[in-house]
Amino acid sequence: CSAGSIGDALAREFHARGFRVFATSRNHETMSTLAQEGIETIKLDITDDADIQRVVREVSMRTGGTLDVLVNNAGVGYSFSVADSDMAKVRQLFDINVVGHYAMTRAFIPLLLKSDRGVVLFTSSIGGIIPMPLNAAYSASKAAISALSDTLRLELAPFGVKVINLVTGMVYSNLAPRVVIDEVFPDGSLYKPIQPNFVAMFARSVETSTPTDVYAKGVVDEVLKKSPASWYWSGGLSTMTWLLSIFVPRGISVRSPLPSWCFFANISDRTGFSRSSVV
């Protein structure tokens, strides 16, 4: 829940609706503003099992052993092609974006079961639905989150705990500015010639992004419904992605979705590669 993030906006919105909120972050200092507003803050590293258990005990002690809503939102991005990826960073991404949420959910299930309105939220992404060039690791982690949420929904339904997959489109958070264009295209990259395309696409995505506060209001509205959606779509390009997922055959959408086609237009001419020259 660091300042400027989706988690920060969600913490504020739940607090504004009367919830008692426990906001977490690896860096306690990034939540100072939330603390000043009366939101309880706890330092947490979701990749550390012992740290997770410590927070479970702390929340349980403060609430009497119950939890109404668990928001799994922590995450990191990694914008590199598969060919240019650093495997240590890819493994770290999955540890945070997938395994960490799995561990958090598993640890808090006993508290959710004691609530009369238990809800688990997972922040996935449209990148897990349609191919996003130069974003394979992040997209794969979000596809995994969608699968996790769907399976968990079936497992917890008999006990009255709801699970919502927040299929998130473009939202302007503090994650977006962290993309360093020159790092995405390292020297020697096969994709260096199309760096201008990426810069233009990135600029357009920022311009069409949904503000975090607007996104958060919609999410909390959905959570408060008697029968919330299993998949809640929100953010820039989310409607287009939903339409593609419904009306375009998978065999077509995974080969040439519009954003990818525009991004890689004429790549063979720019790089000198073609299908006939690659073994």
Q: Which residues are catalytic?
A: 138, 142
Query: By C-alpha distance, which of 138, 157, 164 is closest to 218?
Result: 164
| Tokens describing residue 126 | 């449209």
Cα R_g (the chain), whole angstroms: 20
- Residue 272 to residue 166: CA distance in whole angstroms: 40
Query: Distance between CA 22 and CA 19 in Å, rounded?
Result: 9
Amino acid at 12: R
In this structure, are strands 162-168 and 171-172 parallel, antiparallel, or unpaired?
unpaired
3-state helix vs strand vs coil in the chain, percent to 5: 55, 15, 35
DSSP helix/strand/coil, 147: helix
Amino acid found at 232: Y
